[in-house]
């Protein structure tokens, strides 16, 4: 009789372990997929920058300092993307965003440049890419939060330690100007 009770308990515990493990794997997988979404958009921004620099340079060649800064920031961001943690990467991306702003600020002073179709397309594409980075980041952070919350709640936290699941880092871009607060929603 007792042996059946023991067996039943073992089976229940086993099922629980499997379910928890699988849930953590799913959540971690979502985090990784979301991260690759950010990656795609950041790479797209790297690809657009040389064209932008070339186009603006044609009209404002003497503003060389601005172009050097954005080119350097781009190289740093790419390097951080290959080796750095999300935190280092976010820092490099923030510098790049700032440098890009100054390129557009320079471009403001050249009305002929504003009228060029290529410049218009580039700036629409860059705006869209920056929007996508912001949205991809939000999606990523939402997934990280779900995963980290699961890791920290009992009894999953005990098992997570046993299976070697570790918390993921948020991707924070300190960009108060474009970031909007989440609205408060009530379903009453």
Partner 1 sequence: MSVSQQHLNIYSAISANRWRTVALIVGFTVVVCLVAFVFGDYFSGSTNGGLALMPVAIGFSMVSSFASYFAGDKLVLAQSHAQELAPGAETQLRNVVETLAVGLGIDPPKIYVIEDSAPNAFATGRDPKHASIAVTRGLLDKMDRTELEGVLAHEMSHVVNRDIRVMLLITVLVGTIALLSDWMLRSMWWGGGRGSRRDRSGGGAIIAVVAIVLAILTPIIAQIIQFAVSRQREYLADASGALLTRYPEGLASALRKIAADTEPLEVANKATAPLYIANPLHDDPKFFDRLFDTHPPIQERIKRLEAME
Measured from the CB atom, is 66 or 126 closer to partner 1?
126
Closest among 36, 173, 180, 182 to 100, alpha carbons compared: 173
Distance CA 4, CA 159 (A): 25
- For the stretch 104-112, contacts whose Cβ atoms lie closer than 8 Å and that sit 24 or more positions apart, written own/partner, are 106/56, 106/60, 106/63, 106/66, 107/56, 107/59, 107/60, 109/60, 110/56, 110/59, 110/60, 112/59
What is the nearest approach in angstroms of partner 1 to the Cβ of residue 123?
11
* Nearest-approach distance from CB 142 to partner 1, in angstroms: 4
User: Which range of residues in 14-22, 34-42, 65-73, 76-84 is near partner 1 by CB under 8 A?
Assistant: 34-42
Q: Tokens at residue 79, please?
A: 């390097």
Least separation in angstroms between CB 138 and partner 1:
6
Least separation, in Å, of the C-beta of 145 and partner 1?
A: 5
CB 140 within 8 A of CB 37: yes
**One residue of 142, 153, 158, 161 binding partner 1 per CB under 8 A:** 142
Which residues inside 86-125 make contact with partner 1, applying CB under 8 A? 121, 124
Residue 52 within binding range of partner 1, rule CB under 8 A: no
Q: Which residues form the interface with partner 1 (CB under 8 A)?
A: 30, 33-34, 37, 41, 121, 124, 127-128, 131-132, 135-136, 138-139, 141-143, 145-146, 149, 180-187
């Amino acid at each position: 009789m007792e042996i059946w009770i023991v067996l039943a308990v073992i089976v229940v515990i086993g099922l629980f372990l499997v379910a928890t493990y699988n849930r953590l794997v799913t959540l971690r997988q979502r985090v990784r997929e979301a991260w690759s979404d950010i990656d795609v958009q950041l790479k797209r921004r790297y690809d657009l920058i040389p064209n932008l620099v070339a186009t603006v340079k044609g009209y404002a060649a003497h503003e060389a300092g601005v172009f050097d800064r954005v080119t350097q920031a781009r190289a740093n961001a790419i390097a951080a993307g290959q080796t750095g943690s999300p935190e280092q990467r976010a820092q490099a991306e923030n510098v790049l965003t700032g440098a890009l702003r100054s390129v557009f600020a320079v471009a403001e002073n050249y009305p002929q440049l504003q009228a060029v179709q290529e410049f218009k397309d580039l700036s629409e594409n860059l705006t869209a890419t920056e929007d996508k980075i912001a949205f991809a980041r939000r999606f990523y952070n939402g997934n990280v939060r779900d995963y980290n919350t699961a890791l920290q709640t009992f009894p999953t936290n005990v098992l997570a330690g046993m299976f070697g699941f570790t918390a993921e880092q948020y991707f924070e871009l300190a960009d108060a100007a474009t970031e909007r607060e989440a609205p408060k929603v009530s379903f009453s």
